Amino acid sequence: MVRRKYRSQAGIVLDILEALASEGPMPATRLTYYANLPYDRLKIILESLVEEGLVERDENRYYRITDKGLEALKTLRETRKLLESMGFRL
Amino acid sequence: LEPSSLIMLAGIFELVGAILAMHMASKILRASRITGDKSLTLLAVGLLFYSLGLGFEMVGSFFAWGTMYAHTPRRIEELQTIMLNRGTLLGMPLYTVSYVLMAASLYVGHVRVGEIEGRALAVIPFIAYVYADYNLVNLIVLAAAAYYNMARYGTARLGNTLFYTIAGASHLFGVLIVFWGDWLLLLLSMVLRGLAAVALFAASRLGGGS
């Protein structure tokens, strides 16, 4: 059996929101470390998170998590247990 | 246990299972909306179909239980068989859709099953054939879904191991009833389908269920 490791879009979003919630505002370049993603791919996801109102960008190009983002993070943390129990990796 | 108690037990498990599956689907759907992850949407819809299947079976179980106390000129076994199978037949296609969605689109062919035995089911042979066919198809789809899950993610988790095993056993009993014609298998199969959702929920509450 071929065993491959997958990382879901949900897992990436969870990593980004958790990093911003625990480490505070940071630029995209530093977020690449926490999200474990290349810069160009991270930027695409960050833009969609900004559009959804989960993350905002200030004038110094630092990203910070919004109240809506904190609510979303809480939901994702709750769902993580359920998804992991079904074999999905976040 | 008396058949009437088992029918009631099946109805209760189906009710609880349906509510929990719906609850889990709504949580996953919310996560899918937040993250834009389409695979989670598929998983949530899969659980929703499972919940609807249990809902149909629950209605069938409670109607069947009700016929035990009804004054009717028809033979009670025939009436109960029809009542139980009506809900199950309506639920079966939903289980199929559910497993396919949960395994991210696999497809299987239609499989035929041979002779029917058993007096209770013989009163409605067409239903028995379709019932067994659906169960067999569901068993195959479920086995494929379990294999696909393992091949993709590598490890078996407590939650999906319990869900696939219990749901698989329920469909296996659904197939065996055509050969053995034992009422207990039908009821056991219905109880197990509800229990599968309950077990999945319980495993998720135990902290990821490694």
pLDDT in tens, A50-65: 998 999 998 888 999 9
Picking from B153, B163, B207, the nearest residue to A89 by CB comes out as: B153
Sort out which chain B residues have CB atoms less than 8 A from A67's CB and list them: none
Determine the pLDDT at residue A20: 93
Element housing B12 (H / E): helix B3-35
Distance from CA of B22 to the nearest CA of A (A): 13
Question: What's the pLDDT at A21?
Answer: 93
CA distance B146 to chain A (A): 10
Q: Which of A48, A78, A84 sits opposite B157 (nearest CB)?
A: A84
Q: Given this model, what pLDDT does residue B115 score?
A: 33
ipTM of the complex: 0.76
Is-contact B168 B99, C-beta < 8 A?
A: no
Give the integer Cα–Cα distance in Å for B56 and B86.
8
Q: Ramachandran region of residue A46, left (φ > 0), alpha (ψ -120 to 50) or beta?
A: alpha
**CA separation for the pair B10, B16 (Å, rounded):** 10
Of the partner residues A80, A81, A88, the one whose CB lies closest to the CB of residue B153: A88
Question: Using CA atoms, how far apart are residues B69 and A8, in angstroms rounded to an integer?
Answer: 52
| Confidence at residue B178, expressed as pLDDT on a 0 to 100 scale | 67
Nearest Cα of chain B lies from the Cα of A89 at a distance, in angstroms, of 7
Predicted local confidence at residue B72, as pLDDT: 59
- The pLDDT value given to residue B47: 85
pLDDT means per 10 residues, chain B with 210 residues, are 74 88 88 81 84 85 72 59 66 72 39 33 46 75 76 73 88 78 77 88 69
Q: What is the pLDDT of residue B74?
A: 57
Q: State how far the Cα of A68 lies from the Cα of A57, in Å rounded to an integer.
A: 14
Residue-level pLDDT at A3? 39
pLDDT at A19: 92
pLDDT of residue B117: 38
Strand A62-65 to strand A55-57: parallel, antiparallel, or no bridges (unpaired)?
antiparallel
Residue segments in chain A with a per-residue pLDDT below the cut of 70: 1-7, 87-90
